[in-house]
């Protein structure tokens, strides 16, 4: 792709008083779309996500993931001159986004109301754990803890024990709604000339994602069971062992697919009319018996051979891959989804963002060293400039 293609957010400046994962994830996506993101970090160590681990060539894998393409500026916001500098930067910005502790930004003079009183075109976005009011307003809100409060962890794991989902689900949900909210506000400003004050909480974001279990329990009368790697309400849907000892995941979501599975894969058409398996609720109620039937038939297949057969019949299936296997997945390789980007530790390889637009690619700029851009930004926004 030509390097001179104008990205959709070129010319948009975002000031990010951010830390951890949720807001950095939102602003990294704005940077991928061409926005200038000025990341304000604290003296002494910067964003504490820089120290979460050392897995990416000595850098934090969390930080590398959510901070590509930003400018790192170290400011001491307890210092009056640095606060004045940040006000000058914000006065030229389009978006101000923060996820400090509740009330902290306002106490420093960077609350949404005060900022927008100075500049009605400014878009502000405050991301919190549980929202700007209510009894949980001040409660610390780390990702896993929000997952617990939202009921997600109660659904995850085996029947015997709960488990943490493998990724930061609450942070990702909050970051995505902050990102989409900012994009919406930029679009609205083009029509009205005025900015907006946005508020997003991790709890509310994850609450939206809990819609199915919420309605299922509210009106179904019973909680969804924890089902390990099996689907809590559809069968067959989950892992099944093959003759070579490997497991294939498959999912049957309609009676038409059930018929195809019985007749063309299992070679047992009589199962279509079996009273235990006649529809999905019955199949789910008799899941243990159904699993025994399927694994008995699959014992004559290797996992690879079964996947080929299932694909030919039109039954959804997947292999359980490790993260290492995912990173070199044949679909990613065939579609050329890997890209190299710079970092203080040297080149790193990541994946293109998921939205594809014909004729251009995401910016995928460098991961900044702590304070890498402080001197340049201080000079650019010096008093009187």
Q: Which residues are catalytic?
A: 231
Residues 6+ away with beta carbon under 8 Å from 385:
none
Q: At what angle do helices 169-192 and 22-32 cross, to 10 degrees?
A: 50
Query: Of the candidates 355, 313, 322, 324, which has an alpha carbon nearest to the alpha carbon of residue 337?
Result: 355
Q: How far apart are CA 162 and CA 368, in angstroms?
A: 38
Query: Of the candidates 80, 53, 107, 68, which has an alpha carbon nearest to the alpha carbon of residue 342?
Result: 68
The residue count of the chain comes to 385
Backbone angles phi, psi at 241, to 5 degrees: -80, 140
SS3 state at 289: helix
Identify each DSSP E strand in the chain by its residue range.
13-17, 36-41, 71-74, 95-98, 123-128, 197-201, 237-241, 247-251, 316-319, 338-341, 348-351
Residue with tokens 């996500």: 49
Q: How far apart are CA 105 and CA 99, in angstroms?
A: 8
Identify each DSSP E strand in 247-289 by its residue range.
247-251
């Amino acid at each position: 792709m030509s390097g001179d293609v104008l990205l959709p957010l070129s010319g948009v400046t975002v000031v990010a008083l951010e830390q951890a994962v949720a807001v950095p994830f939102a602003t990294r996506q704005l940077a991928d779309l061409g926005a200038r993101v000025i990341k304000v970090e604290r003296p002494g160590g910067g964003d504490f996500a820089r120290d979460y681990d050392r897995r990416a060539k000595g850098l934090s894998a969390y930080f590398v993931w959510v901070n590509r393409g930003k400018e790192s500026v170290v400011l001491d916001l307890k210092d009056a001159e640095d606060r004045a500098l940040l006000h000058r930067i914000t006065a030229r910005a389009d978006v101000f986004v923060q996820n400090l502790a509740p009330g902290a930004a306002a106490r420093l003079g960077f609350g949404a109301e005060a900022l927008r009183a100075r500049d009605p075109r400014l878009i502000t976005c405050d991301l919190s754990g549980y929202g700007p009011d209510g009894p949980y307003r001040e409660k610390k809100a780390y990702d896993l803890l929000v997952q617990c409060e939202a009921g997600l962890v109660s659904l995850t794991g085996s029947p015997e024990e709960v488990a943490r989902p493998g990724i930061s689900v609450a942070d990702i949900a909050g970051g995505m709604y902050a990102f989409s909210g900012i994009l919406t506000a930029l679009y609205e400003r083009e029509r009205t000339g005025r900015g907006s004050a946005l508020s997003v909480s991790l709890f509310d974001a994850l609450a939206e994602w809990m819609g199915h279990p919420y309605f299922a329990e509210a009106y179904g009368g019973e909680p969804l069971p924890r089902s390990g790697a099996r689907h809590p309400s559809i069968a067959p849907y989950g892992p099944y062992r093959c003759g070579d000892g490997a497991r294939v995941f498959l999912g049957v979501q309609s009676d038409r697919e059930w018929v195809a599975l019985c007749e063309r894969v299992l070679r047992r058409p009589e199962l279509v009319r079996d009273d235990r398996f006649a529809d999905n609720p019955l199949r789910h109620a008799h899941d243990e018996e159904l699993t025994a039937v399927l694994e008995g038939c699959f014992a004559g297949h290797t996992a690879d051979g079964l996947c080929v057969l299932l694909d030919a019949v039109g039954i959804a299936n997947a292999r359980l891959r490790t993260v290492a296997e995912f990173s070199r997945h044949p679909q990613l390789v065939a579609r050329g989804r890997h890209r190299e980007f710079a970092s203080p530790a040297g080149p790193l390889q990541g994946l293109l963002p998921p939205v594809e637009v014909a004729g251009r690619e995401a910016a995928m700029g460098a991961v900044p060293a702590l304070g890498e851009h402080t001197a340049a930004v201080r000079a650019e926004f010096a008093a009187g400039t």
